[in-house]
Amino acid sequence: MAQMDPAQVAALFPGPEAFAERHSKGPQSLPALQDLLARARSLGYAWEQDEVTEGFLLWRSPSSTGSAIPWPA
């Protein structure tokens, strides 16, 4: 998602109702999500712990299709 065009991300998350609340963690607004995505772009990877599923640490690195379309990894 960090590789997506900001307008595409904004279209996916048009308002607060688009953000799932999981264990009171994770972004709850578009600006908060944009901050996380900017951090992932600058680091070259993304990670989260206990935000989606408690007890799990997830590490992600970017990948894309041959046409440079972001592909979740």
The string of pLDDT tens digits covering residues 24-67 is 778 889 999 999 899 988 888 888 887 767 888 887 776 666 66
For the entire predicted model, the pTM comes to: 0.72
Residue 7 has pLDDT above 90, yes or no: yes
Query: What's residue 58's pLDDT?
Result: 80
Query: What's residue 63's pLDDT?
Result: 64
Coil, strand or helix: which one is 22? strand
Give dist(CA 51, CA 59) in Å, integer: 12
Find the DSSP H helices in the chain.
6-12, 30-43
Query: What's residue 64's pLDDT?
Result: 60
Query: What's residue 62's pLDDT?
Result: 67
